[in-house]
Structure 1
């Protein structure tokens, strides 16, 4: 058995000509070009897929080899999976050639063998460089071809770095050198996963709301931090892949939620591991959230213009407003600009460095005894402290004060989002009924603030309307704003009286 440790990238442009210069500091032990044809197998009910295993037969230079990759781990673009490789004499899978102990309890390998059938193929040319440097060997493979499932085709253009032997940090150093050139995006989806999707045997990504993490009161702070970071990173990359497959604002909103969660976790646990957290990450996370700050405006405009402006149907100036709102929508970043962001060096290096930090568990290095004890302590104590701090910060803000006007409410939107994010992080530690009774009124307040803010694009265009249209819009906005503020004030008064569930 081998344990594969590799970093996968998706490639947006031809980088072949740039590689010789980028690899000049390495000794090139081997450089070749091969055609690889792979057929993937599973049962009709996808037994292997449900085991998170993948079975393929590879044809290479007339030689046949069957490989099974078992469930492993994936963080960012780093993949670690146990795999078994066996030479074949004929192009048919033979599970009996694999060690018997690899199968989970209850799996009948002989029955599995009888049910196997080919599902899809991958066919690509692999350019391969075997690199050596100071005792570490890395295989760099550039694959170009396609995934095939019946009549369906999907292009493959990937770059993989696999650790053959030595220090995994050198793998990340090479990855960083390559990412700096741009045109690479860390890949969380394997060729096999793409094949299952193309064959219609695995669902395409669907939008997912950020859910509470699976935390237990007895979990240590370190374990909870890692669980939450993995959740945030998965949510982030899952919705990045979803946007790549079917671009849309909703994917980006959820991607930003994942980024915000990672940022929030680093801030919450920063005092325990602050000297091992690169402050540049915080800067880059803030930069990325700033790059996506236009999403709030995009959501507002989408709602205002949906169904031919149904929201504005009672206004005689509806058509004039829709023209102005369409101009605002045209100013938003387009698909090409976003692809350049996701394939850009700063974005790629941020994800790569976070992945490396999680892989190496760098926060453990150089910890003082007191910090080690704090990281080992049960999370419930720190959770109560963080929840109480965020709650007191909220109460001391304008949201805990006297009557607010519309602009004051809108100014508190970010603070309320952060407070609710802290609550979401530790939701699993508390009874659902009590937790929801406390959170739901504040979620309603956030939605009310968002509804209030949704009027902003209309206020921005009022000066470009005819006088009579402007007067009509002003009256309509005043009524909307008055109604929303009354509802917000009632909800806020009730929410401030609630007893926090963590006390």
Structure 2
């Protein structure tokens, strides 16, 4: 058995042409290229897929080998999976050739064997380099070809860095050198996963709201922190993949939610962990949030221009407003700019360094005994403290004042979002009925503030209208804002009287 430790990247086609030059400064132990034809097998009811196992037969140079990869772990683009390889003489899998111990107890292996059928294939040219770096050997493989399932095809442009032997940190160092050139994006989805999706046997990325993490009061702080970071990173990457497959604003909004969860988790547990080794990725995380700061404006414009400006239907100047709003909408970052962001060196560096930090558990570096003990303590105590701190901050902000105007409400949007994210992180520690009774009014207030902010692009256009249209818009905006403020004030007055559920 071998355990793969590899980084997977999706790459731009031009990466292949510049890669040989980039590798000239390394000691190359071996270099070759070969055509690889792979057929993947499973049962009709996807018995292997349900075990998180993958079975393939690989043909190369007239020789065949069957491989089974079992459930492992995946963080960012780092994949670790146990695999077993057995040579074959015929192009038909034989599960009985694998060690019996690798299968779940009680599995009817013969029945599984007879139910296997080919599902999809991957065919690609692999250009391979084996590098020696300070006693560590790394195999670098550039794969270019396609995944095929029936009539459906998808191109393959991937780069895999696999640790052959030695220090895994060298794997990350090499990856960072390559990322500096751009055109690389850490891939969370394997070729097999893509094949299952292409064959219609596995769901494509689906837009999902960020949900609470399953927690128990006795769970320790450290595994809770790690689980929250993994959850945020998965949500982030799933919606990145979703946007790349089907560009739509809502994918980006949920991607931002994943990024926010990662950031909020670092703030919640920051006093307990070491920041001595972060290699600047936290600065990159803040940079990414800034890169996505236009999404609120994009959501406003999308709502105002939907259905040919239906929201503005009662205004005589509807067509003028719609034309101007549509022009502004067209000036927002487009698909090409966003793809460039996801393949940019800084974005790649952020994902790689965050993955490395999680893999090496760098938060433990140089921890004092007191910090180590606090990491091992039950998370329930920390949750109460952080919820109290967040609630205190909220109550002493403008949201705790007797009365707010529209601009003051809008200024509190970010603060309320952060407060609700803190609550989401620890939600499952508390009874749902009490928790939701407290959170729902504040969620309604956030939606009300977002509705209020939806009027901002229209206010910005008043000076571009003639006198009559400007007066009509002012009256309409005043009426809308008055209605929203009345509802917000009522909701806030009730919400501030609620007893916190965590006390």
Q: Give the drift of 1:477.
A: 0.5
Question: Structure 1: how far apart are the matches of 2:278 and 2:170?
Answer: 19
Do residues 115 (structure 1) and 115 (structure 2) align? yes
Q: Give the drift of 1:279.
A: 7.3
Question: Structure 1: how far apart are the matches of 2:279 and 2:156?
Answer: 36
Structure-1 residue corresponding to 2:398: 398
1:107-256, aligned counterparts within 5 Å?
107-256=107-256
Do residues 76 (structure 1) and 76 (structure 2) align? yes
Residue by residue, what CA displacement relative to the aligned partner does 1:8-59 show, whole Å, maximum 9, x if unpaired?
A: 0000132234323432342211100100000001111111111111110000
TM value normalised by structure 2: 0.99
List runs of 5+ in structure 2 lacking aligned partners: none
Structure-1 residue corresponding to 2:454: 454
Q: Give the drift of 1:491.
A: 0.4
Structure-1 residue corresponding to 2:18: 18
Is this contact kept in 2: 1:35–1:124, CA < 8 A? yes
Structure-1 residue corresponding to 2:442: 442
Question: Structure 2: how far apart are the matches of 1:501 and 1:477?
Answer: 37
Question: Structure 1: how far apart are the matches of 2:266 and 2:276?
Answer: 11
Is this contact kept in 2: 1:210–1:254, CA < 8 A? yes
1:84-483, aligned counterparts within 5 Å?
84-276=84-276, 278=278, 280-483=280-483
Is this contact kept in 2: 1:146–1:154, CA < 8 A? yes
Q: Give the drift of 1:355.
A: 0.3
Is this contact kept in 1: 2:278–2:357, CA < 8 A? no
1:84 partner SS: strand
Structure-2 residue corresponding to 1:66: 66
**Cα distance change on mapping 1:277 and 1:270 into 2, 3 Å:** farther
Question: Structure 1: how far apart are the matches of 2:420 and 2:286?
Answer: 18
Is this contact kept in 1: 2:8–2:186, CA < 8 A? yes
Q: Give the drift of 1:337.
A: 0.3
Structure-1 residue corresponding to 2:492: 492
Question: Structure 1: how far apart are the matches of 2:328 and 2:488?
Answer: 28
Question: Structure 1: how far apart are the matches of 2:281 and 2:161?
Answer: 23
- Of 377-386 and 357-366, deviating more is 357-366
1:276 partner SS: coil
Question: Structure 2: how far apart are the matches of 1:165 and 1:61?
Answer: 26
Q: Give the drift of 1:68.
A: 0.6
Is this contact kept in 2: 1:270–1:277, CA < 8 A? no
TM value normalised by structure 1: 0.99
Question: Structure 2: how far apart are the matches of 1:44 and 1:470?
Answer: 64
Question: Structure 1: how far apart are the matches of 2:419 and 2:275?
Answer: 25
Q: Give the drift of 1:282.
A: 2.6
Q: Give the drift of 1:320.
A: 1.2
Q: Give the drift of 1:217.
A: 1.0
**Cα distance change on mapping 1:436 and 1:277 into 2, 3 Å:** farther
Is this contact kept in 2: 1:65–1:88, CA < 8 A? yes
Question: Structure 2: how far apart are the matches of 1:161 and 1:230?
Answer: 22
Is this contact kept in 1: 2:210–2:235, CA < 8 A? yes
Question: Structure 2: how far apart are the matches of 1:385 and 1:25?
Answer: 52
1:419 partner SS: helix
Q: Give the drift of 1:277.
A: 5.2
2:197 partner SS: helix
1:132 partner SS: strand
Is this contact kept in 2: 1:40–1:55, CA < 8 A? yes
Question: Structure 2: how far apart are the matches of 1:17 and 1:243?
Answer: 27
1:24 partner SS: helix
Structure-2 residue corresponding to 1:40: 40
Is this contact kept in 2: 1:137–1:163, CA < 8 A? yes
- Quote the RMSD (CA, aligned, Å): 1.0
Q: Give the drift of 1:281.
A: 2.5
List runs of 5+ in structure 1 lacking aligned partners: none
Question: Structure 1: how far apart are the matches of 2:115 and 2:491?
Answer: 59
1:275 partner SS: coil
Residue by residue, what CA displacement relative to the aligned partner does 1:447-483 show, whole Å, maximum 9, x if unpaired?
A: 0000000001111112212221111111111000000
Question: Structure 2: how far apart are the matches of 1:22 and 1:381?
Answer: 51
Question: Structure 2: how far apart are the matches of 1:358 and 1:275?
Answer: 13
Residue by residue, what CA displacement relative to the aligned partner does 1:239-291 show, whole Å, maximum 9, x if unpaired?
A: 00000100110000000000011011111111111433527233211111111
Q: Give the drift of 1:422.
A: 0.4
Aligned residues: 503
Q: Give the drift of 1:295.
A: 0.6
